[in-house]
Amino acid sequence: MKSSADRILDYALGRHFSMEPTIDLSERIAQRWAEGEGGSLQPDELQALGSSTKPKAIRGGHRTGLGHWRGWILAAACLLLLWAAAALLPTAPRLVSDPGPAQPRPWQVQLSEPIDLYRGPESKALRSSTILAGDTLFMAETSPELSLGAGLTLTARGPALFSIERLHGALQIAPLAGELTLAGQPGLAWALNGVALSFEAPSRLSLQLAGSFSPAPRDWTPSGVLAFLREEREADQALLLMLTSGQLGRGIGDNANLLGTGEELILVGGEVLSEEVWRRAQGLIRDIAPSGPGDMVAANYWSPERAREQSQQFAEMIAEEPALWGVLGAALRGRARQGVLNPRFAMALLDLLIYGEEPRAREQARSLWMTDPAAFNPRQVVAMASFGYFEFQRELEAQWALAGEQDWEGLPYAIYAGMEGDARGEQLLDHALRNPEERTLASGEFGLAALALESLGESGAWDLVQDPFEAAFEAALLAGELTRAQQVVLQVEALAALRREPGGKAWVQIFRLATGPLPTKEFSDESSASLRQRLDLALGG
């Protein structure tokens, strides 16, 4: 279903491109009105729609006795027809906006817990209320946990279908006639923060647990949580759910506001792996939130560098237990579905998943594509396409068709196409080479553009990259930024290696070089030997 913004754009595009002249109906309408015609809505319908005064039972500009009776006869005939249709089709669906009489209210919610439910963000709290068809009730985010052990009673005054949906599959679907009380199981608290109770129609009620639905450990100390994880079946999933709901955050030190960041992933890895990793994860939390709850994870916290660092730490942990790639994928997708996936963290993590050596990691990236394609940048799309994933190749094809000749965003696609022998991007590649902006240079695309052009037959392309790289190296040395200088050298070395042995997918590593931590493996090459020598000198080697 399209969003209202999409529909507006569709409408506006239709209007913009439409060649059809608009017919002026004013004369025709005035004429029909003058001849005594009225619209097809009945007076009571018009009044129900908000006519401030009593609508004219007799329609038309010139009233006649005939017009008067004709109107009533038509109205009576319509009513008879409607009645007959209703009798013949008792189950015909009614439109929500049909201005018919109000439907009986079939649902009664009785809250036996002192928790506030709202009809809408600005309405008053309900403690016991009758629910209209189509109503959705909200629980305030600040509400305490609703313990279903204490009970939430839903009463139906007629046969209906009651369903509970939870994050991971249906929990319960039961026919309901009469009263149903949701009750927790002994020893388990049910976290329902952020829940939306949705009453869709008289014949169907669904309770959607939007955020979380998880058993929780009784002991919130780290050792208690760990014991719980070791004992519980599907402990990793339970932990994920707890983290998603913020319970674990509260349990380990009032850090509920960690929701929406990437720490939970680190915690998941830490939890299931070892106490050592768990301690590291705790350290991370203390690092972020040294003084208790509050606005602890500001947007600025997730700088690109910090996101890389965090995702790298996570990758190191998960490398010890590759089976957790699946847990990571589930967590990423879950957060993406909820719209709380931090884009910087996601981008950094995707770099690791895609540019690394682990095929299972790439599979997780691929599965995220189905949920949240917006999380991917062009380089990641290109890299995934180069690994042969058809959906990314399709996306690449579409994006490449969209890219303009001077469109920097299209550069990765032009590189890919150029290396595949497609010369359509030649102009863009040439443009990139002759405009070595800092961004392009650092991203690895600059050098790759040279290689792509060279593979298209531009023999002098490689020479064009020498000076900008040299200049960037000098500038980094002068500024004392040795890491940046090292990155330049590594780029040149990697590019030179790729130039010696073209083909394959090794060039994806150039992107990795530009986005991830510096690799320990170095590419020795004569063309960068002098840079390497000077770098070693600068590093004191």
Residues forming contacts to other proteins in the complex (CB under 8 A) are 1-19, 22-34, 37-41, 43, 45-47, 49-56, 59, 61, 92-93, 95-99, 394-395, 397-399, 401-402, 404-405
Shortest Cβ 391–other proteins spacing (Å): 9
Shortest Cβ 304–other proteins spacing (Å): 22
Structure tokens at 411: 């550069």
Of the candidates 385, 380, 375, 436, the residue with the CA atom closest to the CA atom of residue 408 = 436
Dist. CA 44–CA 32, nearest whole Å? 22
Q: Are 514 and 494 in contact (CB under 8 A)?
A: no
Dist. CA 330–CA 320, nearest whole Å? 18
Nearer to other proteins, 12 or 539 (CB): 12
Structure tokens at 521: 């493996």
Nearer to other proteins, 46 or 176 (CB): 46
Would residue 444 be called left, alpha or beta, if left means φ above 0 and alpha means ψ between -120 and 50 degrees? left
Nearer to other proteins, 47 or 129 (CB): 47
Shortest Cβ 45–other proteins spacing (Å): 7
Of the candidates 149, 115, 119, 114, the residue with the CA atom closest to the CA atom of residue 134 = 119
Q: Are 541 and 518 in contact (CB under 8 A)?
A: no
Shortest Cβ 5–other proteins spacing (Å): 6
Shortest Cβ 399–other proteins spacing (Å): 7
Nearer to other proteins, 96 or 478 (CB): 96
Nearer to other proteins, 214 or 377 (CB): 377
Shortest Cβ 120–other proteins spacing (Å): 12
Per-position DSSP letters for 266-304, written without gaps between them: HHHHHHHH-HHHHHHHHHHHHHH-TT-SSS-S-GGGS-H
Nearer to other proteins, 47 or 153 (CB): 47
Structure tokens at 392: 């990314």
Dist. CA 402–CA 137, nearest whole Å? 43
Helix (H) or strand (E) holding 188: none
Nearer to other proteins, 52 or 459 (CB): 52
Shortest Cβ 303–other proteins spacing (Å): 24
